[in-house]
Amino acid sequence: MNCYLIEELLPLYIEGDTSTGTNNIIAEHLQTCESCRQLYQEMKEPITLIQTRDLMPYIDEKEEKRKFEKRYYGKLIYRASIVFGLGYVTMIILYWLK
């Protein structure tokens, strides 16, 4: 049996919808075929998929946090320069008013 057919049958095999004869063929193939065995493991454990999906928002969140921090510190520098500038202007005015 070729891998293509095994791939087609794997979801049914996992659900237990295949006949005993087919089960034996698939089980036998899985023992000999590394790639189909991996596919079978992935299909059998949807946890792997859930974990991958859970990781995505985490990455996005991290990225958002980074962007936010960049914006936040950017504003902070901007404000600091305004305060510094105002202080400088005030000093000049006070100097001229003396």
Distances (CA, A) of 82 to 3, 62, 86, 98: 68, 30, 6, 24
Q: Is residue 3 close enough to count as binding Zn ion by CB under 5 A?
A: yes
Applying CB under 5 A, what is the total number of residues that bind Zn ion?
3
Which parts of 15-34 interact with Zn ion (CB under 5 A)?
33
Two tokens, residue 12: 């049914």
Nearer to Zn ion (CB atom), residue 20 or residue 32: 32
CB 10 → Zn ion: shortest distance, Å? 10
Cβ of residue 35: shortest distance to Zn ion, in angstroms?
6
CB of 59 to Zn ion, least distance (A): 32
For residue 43, which of 30, 54, 59 has the smallest C-alpha distance? 30
CA separation (Å) from 49 to 42, 52, 55, 93? 8, 5, 10, 66
State the minimum distance, in angstroms, from the CB of residue 38 to Zn ion.
10
Under rule CB under 5 A, which residues in 30-89 are in contact with Zn ion?
A: 33, 36
Q: Determine the Cα–Cα distance for residues 64 and 34; give it in Å rounded to an integer.
A: 39
Interacting residue ranges for Zn ion, rule: CB under 5 A? 3, 33, 36
